[in-house]
Amino acid sequence: MVSGIGINLFDFQEKAVLKLIDLVGDENSKQTIIMKSPTGSGKTIILIDFVEEYLDKVDDNTAFIWLCPGKGDLEEQSRKKMQKYAPHRHTQNLFDALKCGFPAGSTTFINWELVTKVGNTALRDGEHANLYNRIAEAHRANLQFVVIIDEEHSNNTAKAKVVIDAFSAKNIIRVSATALENKRFEYFEIDELDVINAGLITKALYVNEGITEGMNVDEDYDCLLDLADSKRKDIANRYAEIGKTIRPLVLIQFPNGQPETIDAVEKKLESMGYTYENGMVSKWMSEDKRDLPDNLTANDGIPVFLLMKQAISTGWDCPRAKILVKLREGMSENFEIQTIGRIRRMPEAVHYDDDLLDFCYVYTFDEKYKMGLLTSIDKAYEMRRLFLKEKCKSFTLEKQLRDLDFAGLGEREVLYKLYDSLVAKYRLGNDKKQNKMLLEEAGYIFGDTIRGKILEGVFVRTTAVANSDNYRTIHRNVQTHNHGIYLLHAVDSIKTSIGMQTGKVKAILERLFRKGRMTNKKLVALETREFYAFVINNAQKLRQDFHEATANMIEQEGIPLQPKTALFHIPEQDFYKYDVNEKNERDYLKNAFEGYTSGFATSLVRSMPEVLFEQYCETRDDIDWVYKNGDSGKQYFSIVYIDSLQHQWLFYADYVVKMKDGTVWVIETKGGESKGKDKNIDIQIENKFNAFKSYAQEKGLHWGFVRDLNNRLYINNTVFALDMADDHWQPLEEVF
């Protein structure tokens, strides 16, 4: 069917336009409309036709605001498309609007960075009327605004919200390939299968074709580039066979960081006959754009490899891009699935009934696949700002901070603690071969290869990649000069569990597990290559075991630590998570913040003991106010505790409660028990309990740990016990 802009739309595009018209035209619709539109579905054409149809048939006294991400000049691309398909419509950019305002029937294309970046002149008062003045003029003229937010996930920030709110739009249309359904908004999506059936995007994508189970790999980029180039040549030859002048392009995506990786890949490509000099290679990175020809995106463009860092800019279209090689530096990087959109377009918007040409191809050793850039617009809750009640502004409490002069245990003492903990947990002894068998039995991996699992398979829907469990195992032969950065990443992940510097943690690991480091605390004696593989393969398990070692109970008052102190004031304004779907919402009048309701204390945004505790406080006439503390940050109330390695950590008690008689209670909530199972997940609970007890005794405060059991709350502020059947756990109402 011919659209309002004079071109034939596919059925799914026409239905999307009609759906937008219906929702925007319906006074009962929610203000925000989310359209999930897969990459390649022609969302710009859909939106242009929607604007045309709305102005022509619904309300011409409307101005459209089309907000685009700042990178890639997407707003100019979109404006040029509208000028091409709807030349009779008035289009303008932000600076045109600042000069002349927002005429009825106009569409203003705005680059997000112009209105959200700090220091931009667009929002300064000056010789020209600023954006807010022009918006006010339009409102005085009774003009309606409809705001279109392209790639909505890219700019869902507080600054962006201020700009959007200023328009007081009749409707806000958010469009993205990665949006999630949310009950707060109108939502509809274009089915990826409809886009495939229209021939606009590939029939499927093949991940890691040619990688076999148990395959040995010497160097990641060697393997991946060889596979990608072989596939590129096959595709190029097939295009030639059917008489198509299309040169397939391979995108090589680098992580942030190491220029050495880029250099190595450039040398590898050169050995394959591809260089910047012969025009076969181009580079597009923020700090380096080399040999980018004008016809890079044309089907007959010369370069066959494009080096890029992270994802190519949003909105960049190159239909001849058929293959993506995603490299990595560490072992735990995520593959951002929206990047696949860059290679899913069909170069002539038709299928060729040939799987080689109708598929696109991804080669990567990434193990984790992440769908979209989840933002608060996608979540089932929103963040709301609340303001402190006047009577709470004068309240103060002394909080504790780390003493930076207190060093904790030294490297040798930490080594001994970790050794003792591992020996006790796995029943290890002096026989290193026996120790190795016991550790292996417990799940530790030994050998001189780095084990990895990689995704492999054919996927029709892009989202299916994130949900697949079709993994294959590969082995990398350890090369110490190449895999040093893998070792560094592994040690960095382990060090977070014990709070020590990378070099010291590496030395401890060597003394425990590597041959040649003289110590009587050696558990196994691994050769250098075996040691690299051991730490890299077992980083997560080592981190967990080391973390458990820090949780051994320690008498807080027996350590010569004098925490620093500072005066705590409740913040005069703060943001809290709010459950927009809370039914029968009730005001929580005891809370320290104005406007706090039961919507801020549901199971969606709070733990069960927190929900029950806030409900309980609302029933108490003798409570003056209740403050919910933050989880981290220097503005919140904190107490110092130390672990068994005598390293300092901060924890943030959940609630401060002031009674009407002036008594102050500080309460920490923890997971209780359910169906006989412990719900507490904090292995430092006992160290925190003891530190809390010492602090409260010193300051003369009432305090307690509160946990839930069968929907009732129990408190303990005497002697720690994990088992809630212990008599030290008393019903809350009997103590507090």
| Residue 244: band (very low, low, confident or very high) from pLDDT cuts 50, 70, 90 | very high
The angle subtended at Cα 609 by Cα 607 and Cα 613, nearest 5°, is 120
Same domain, residue pair 155 and 18: yes
Same domain, residue pair 238 and 363: yes
Same domain, residue pair 351 and 208: yes
Measured CA distances, 335 to 255, 340, 363, 455, 681 (Å): 10, 10, 11, 11, 29
Measured CA distances, 263 to 260, 305, 309, 487, 695 (Å): 5, 14, 13, 21, 55
pTM: 0.78
The pLDDT value recorded for residue 221 is 84
| 528 falls within a domain | yes
Whole-number Å distance between alpha carbons of 406 and 416: 20
Same domain, residue pair 325 and 187: no
Nearest to 208 by CA among 472, 505, 519, 390: 472
Query: Which secondary-structure segment (H or E) carries 400?
Result: strand 396-401
Q: Which of 550, 577, 592 is the last residue of a domain?
A: 550
**Average pLDDT of the chain?**
88
Residue 704 has pLDDT above 60, yes or no: yes
- The token pair that represents 591 in the structure block: 């809370």
Whole-number Å distance between alpha carbons of 669 and 343: 49
| 288 falls within a domain | yes
Same domain, residue pair 711 and 649: yes
CB 291 within 8 A of CB 317: no
Same domain, residue pair 673 and 691: yes
CB 616 within 8 A of CB 641: no
Same domain, residue pair 514 and 612: no
Q: What is the mean pLDDT of residues 273-284?
A: 93
| 185 falls within a domain | yes
Q: What is the mean pLDDT of residues 280-298?
A: 83
Whole-number Å distance between alpha carbons of 360 and 356: 8
DSSP state of 298: S
Same domain, residue pair 327 and 273: yes
Whole-number Å distance between alpha carbons of 321 and 340: 10
| Residue 358: band (very low, low, confident or very high) from pLDDT cuts 50, 70, 90 | very high
The pLDDT value recorded for residue 213 is 86
| Residue 214: band (very low, low, confident or very high) from pLDDT cuts 50, 70, 90 | confident
- Which H, E and C letters describe 431-478, residue by residue? CHHHHHHHHHHCCCCCCCEEEEEEECEEECCCCHHHHCCCEEEEEEEC
Residue 127 has pLDDT above 50, yes or no: no
Residue 84 has pLDDT above 90, yes or no: yes
Identify the residue with better confidence: 456 or 337: 456
Residue-level length of the chain: 736
Q: What is the mean pLDDT of residues 357-365?
A: 95
Q: What is the CATH number of the domain that holds 241?
A: 3.40.50.300
- The token pair that represents 513 in the structure block: 């597990």
The pLDDT value recorded for residue 57 is 92
The pLDDT value recorded for residue 623 is 96
Q: What is the mean pLDDT of residues 165-170?
A: 91
Identify the residue with better confidence: 664 or 480: 664
Residue 681 has pLDDT above 50, yes or no: yes
| 411 falls within a domain | no
| 465 falls within a domain | no
Whole-number Å distance between alpha carbons of 351 and 344: 12
| 458 falls within a domain | no
Phi-psi domain of 74 (left: phi exceeds 0; alpha: psi -120 through 50; beta: other):
alpha
Task: For 53-71, write each residue's pLDDT tens digit.
Answer: 999 999 999 999 999 876 5
Same domain, residue pair 183 and 323: no
| Residue 215: band (very low, low, confident or very high) from pLDDT cuts 50, 70, 90 | confident
Q: What is the mean pLDDT of residues 544-568?
A: 79
| Residue 236: band (very low, low, confident or very high) from pLDDT cuts 50, 70, 90 | very high
| Residue 550: band (very low, low, confident or very high) from pLDDT cuts 50, 70, 90 | confident
CB 183 within 8 A of CB 380: yes
Nearest to 78 by CA among 95, 64, 62: 64
Tell me the residue ranges of DSSP E strands in 456-554.
Answer: 457-459, 471-477
Q: Which of 197, 221, 256 is the last residue of a domain?
A: 197
Tokens 């450039």 label which residue?
Answer: 266
Identify the residue with better confidence: 52 or 1: 52
CB hemisphere CA count around 595 (13 angstroms): 10
Whole-number Å distance between alpha carbons of 728 and 720: 7
Identify the residue with better confidence: 53 or 643: 53
Whole-number Å distance between alpha carbons of 299 and 349: 12
Q: Which of 550, 582, 602 is the last residue of a domain?
A: 550
Amino acid (one-letter) located at 724: M
| 469 falls within a domain | no
Q: What is the mean pLDDT of residues 337-362?
A: 92
CB 648 within 8 A of CB 408: yes
Amino acid (one-letter) located at 488: L
Identify the residue with better confidence: 93 or 160: 93
Nearest to 304 by CA among 328, 288, 323: 323
Q: What is the CATH number of the domain that holds 590?
A: 3.40.1350
* Torsion sign (Cα): 281, 284, 288, 289: positive
Residue 437 has pLDDT above 80, yes or no: yes
Same domain, residue pair 388 and 441: no
pLDDT > 70: percent of the chain: 90
The pLDDT value recorded for residue 72 is 52
The pLDDT value recorded for residue 128 is 44
Whole-number Å distance between alpha carbons of 691 and 642: 8
Whole-number Å distance between alpha carbons of 438 and 431: 11
| 637 falls within a domain | yes
| Residue 607: band (very low, low, confident or very high) from pLDDT cuts 50, 70, 90 | very high
| Residue 707: band (very low, low, confident or very high) from pLDDT cuts 50, 70, 90 | very high
CB 74 within 8 A of CB 151: yes
What total of structural domains would you count in the chain? 4
The pLDDT value recorded for residue 31 is 93
Task: For 464-504, write each residue's pLDDT tens digit.
Answer: 888 888 898 888 888 887 778 889 889 998 988 888 888 99
The pLDDT value recorded for residue 164 is 84
Name the residue range of residue 287's domain.
Answer: 204-370
Same domain, residue pair 93 and 239: no
Residue 310 has pLDDT above 50, yes or no: yes
- The token pair that represents 516 in the structure block: 């040649």
Same domain, residue pair 584 and 708: yes
Task: For 409-426, write each residue's pLDDT tens digit.
Answer: 788 888 999 999 999 999
The pLDDT value recorded for residue 173 is 95
Other Cβ atoms less than 10 A from the Cβ of 449: the count is 18
The pLDDT value recorded for residue 264 is 87
